[in-house]
Amino acid sequence: MWIESRTTIIDSQAGTRTEYYQCGSCKSENTFAEQDLFKEDNYDFLPIFGDGQVLIFRRHASATPSYRQIKKEEDVWGPTNLKLREPKDITELDTWEKIRDASAAGLPIVTQTELSNSDTGLHAIIECPVKTMNVSLDEQKYQTDTGPVAFPDLSKHYDLQIESLSLAYIAFNTSGFADFVVESETPVIAEGKEVSSVFHYSRILSLPATNRILALGQQ
| Cβ burial 181-208 (10 Å sphere, 16+ → b, else e) | bbbeeeeeeeeeeeeeeebebeeeeebe
Which pLDDT value is given to residue 199? 82
pLDDT digits over 78-114, tens only?
Answer: 888 899 888 888 999 999 999 999 999 999 999 999 9
Strand partners, 55: 48, 70
pLDDT digits (tens, 9 = 90+) for 160-194: 999 999 999 999 999 999 999 999 888 888 989 98
Q: Which domain holds residue 61?
A: 3-216
Phi, psi of 175 (to 5 degrees): -85, -10
Domain count, the chain: 1
Percent of the chain scored above 90 by pLDDT? Answer: 78
Average pLDDT value for the chain: 93
- Quick: pLDDT tens for 132-141: 999 999 999 9
**pLDDT over 70 (residue 149):** yes
Q: What is the pLDDT of residue 146?
A: 96
Q: From 78, 14, 22, select the one nearest 50 (Cα to Cα).
A: 22
Residue 185 pLDDT: 83
Answer whether residue 64 shows pLDDT above 60.
no
The pLDDT score that the predictor gives to residue 183 is 93
Quick one: pLDDT band at residue 204, thresholds 50, 70, 90? very high
pLDDT of residue 172: 98
Q: How far apart are CA 174 and CA 164, in angstroms?
A: 26
